Amino acid sequence: MNLRINSEFGTLKAVLMHRPGKEIDRLTPYNKDYLLFEDVPYLEALQQEHDAFSNLIKDTTGATVYQLRELLIRVLYDQSILLRLMQDSLKRSGLSQLAEEILQRFSTAECATILTAGLKIHELKRKIPNLESGELMDSAFAIAPCPNLYFQRDPMALTPGGIIFSSMKMEGRQREANLLRTIFENHPDFKDHVNTLYPVNGHDNPPSIEGGDVIILSHEAVAIGNSERTDEKAIYHAAKALLGEGTVKRVYEVHLPKKRQYMHLDTVFTLLDENLVGTYPDAMNAVLQTSLYTLKDVQGDRVNIKREVLKESLLTILRREIPHLEVLATADGNPDYSMREQWFDGANVFAVGPRRVISYNRNIHTNRALRNMGVEVLEIPSSELSRGLGGPRCMTMPLSRSRV
């Protein structure tokens, strides 16, 4: 597995997912906003729906489904890695000095749960009865949970030239990106295949970029959304690395309104085949401008790129990059249903092969329109999964696809 992907729709061979766990049960009506969640899902039903999703991938594609927890435990057997992650996770509560004691009292599997589902002071006191927790109440988090972790698309992105490791906009999600990067740089299955494009070496506080903003348009072009969660400076550095690496010739910066419903570029459009795009029309029309990065020259180690603001619509650019483009609108453009189905990520389907997608069963009008375009639509239950306001694409990190 070379950890590079050259399309959004090549037949899926391997994917990373995270089965929701105890971190979801940490959500309450009072802390959900702080933990960047819209709702309080029912964990057991959420797990059943997620299991149906991962089983459907295995049964219909034969792809390997890697589970984050299993990979994490394997990496955490290295005590130095575990100690570093635990110290980093405790920083926010000012309890980093407890990291070594936690490692002595909790098993590796328990530590993996702590790093994803968080840790409360009263849970610490059960193992360390004489704990000095300062002014923190028993119900306070020593380590906050990561309920967004089942959205595996955000913490990194695979491109034709290598991996972009995300620098998450919201501080509460940065630990997710740290976990992913730690896994890929240390797991024996992956570590020898990582070509890091971002963050740039030596950048301690890199500008933010998230995986949902990265879309592969063609063998030669990648689009990155300048969104609520991805900064212009990050796009510049990622474009420079991609163009300097030589596989990609064009990187488009797509300026989105800084609004919740356009959080990432993949809420605006996704590629379902070499000539088919699924889109939410209102979002496509809301794009403010698009810029193009190309390679100027390479002088030794120094890569110079140029940026040009394009005076044309995103759709015009997509038609130029993708010959004979067909565009499918959420709910087939019906205004009564389009807004409703976009709320539940109608355009955010997950392509497991050319014109073969996994979609939420609740988006009936979009699914019907897809089938009318000759797309095979595999449906998954979505009563609980959809409460996090992310679609099937958001929940999956493809690690290997057939080349197209």
State the chain's maximal CA–CA distance in angstroms. 69
Residue 379 pairs with which residues in a beta bridge? 359
Residue 360, C-beta contacts closer than 8 angstroms, at least 6 positions apart: 344, 345, 346, 379, 380, 382, 385, 386, 391, 392
Report how far apart, in Å, the C-alpha atoms of 77 and of each of 21, 73, 82, 185, 274 are: 21, 7, 7, 14, 42
DSSP 309-351: EE-S-HHHHHHHHSTT-EEEEGGGG-HHHHHHHHHTTTT--EE
Annotate 9-61 with DSSP letters as a single string.
Answer: SSPEEEEEE----HHHHT--TTTTTTTT-SS---HHHHHHHHHHHHHHHHHHH
Cβ–Cβ under 8 Å, residues 24 and 35 = no
Distance separating alpha carbons of residues 296 and 195, to the nearest angstrom:
22
Tokens representing 364 are 């009936």
**Rounded to an integer, what is the distance from CA 273 to the centroid of its chain?**
20
**DSSP type of residue 387:** G
Cis geometry, peptide bond prior to residue 199 (ω within 30 degrees of 0): yes
Beta bridge partners of 225: 254
Out of 223, 394, 397, 399, pick the active-site residue. Answer: 394
Q: Is residue 394 among the annotated active site residues?
A: yes
Distance CA 159, CA 26 (A): 34
Task: List the structure tokens of 395.
Answer: 């929940």
Active site residues: 394
